[in-house]
Amino acid sequence: MLKAQQSEQKKLQDDQLKFQKKLQSEIEIQKRHLETLIAQNYSTQNNKLVSTEDIPEPTKQYDFFISHASEDKDDIVRDLAEALRNNGFEVWYDEFELKIGDSLRKKIDYGLSNANYGIVIISPSFVKKNWTEYELNGMVAREMNGHKVILPIWHKITKDEVLRFSPSLADKLALNTSIHTIDDIVENLKNL
């Protein structure tokens, strides 16, 4: 009986070893096949790869990108953009930069990526808009690299409303149009 058990155990071990060798062989075949596919794909795309030398350098750098809701243009945004420009700052502001037929997304992305700071005019209208959220998300992505980008300005909004919209945005020191004039805001921005 002991011999029978040993014989059966030996047979099971041999079967398991054969299975492992077969599996190992199949994995090696799949691995070589995958390496061949990768090499073929790389060689066909190698001629299509774009080097960083082919990417044009940005033609314009901005000090500030102004993110805002269109409803706030007349109250604060247009005057702020003009005041910043009159103080020698390069400002990406939609009325300065967008022309008929432009791609909104491309122009906004260009402005966001080529601006040192993003001025975010947070208002009840701002928190309801998709475009402003898109712009804010772009600034947050840039801040993830550890650089201060977002400069919040609260306009006709309470701390509770900002907290409901974005607790992390409510945590940032902000200027407030209820107590700061446009001249005050420009002076604060000069000291960055």
Active site residues: 135
Task: Go through the chain and tell me how many residues it has.
Answer: 192
Q: Which amino acid is it at 35?
A: E
Longest pairwise C-alpha distance within the chain: 101
Q: Which amino acid is it at 42?
A: Y
The structure tokens listed for 104 are 């909104």
Residue 190: CA count within 13 A, CB half-sphere: 12
The strands making up 150-154's β-sheet, listed across from edge to edge, are 91-92, 62-67, 115-122, 150-154, 175-176
Contact 98, 117 (CB under 8 A): no
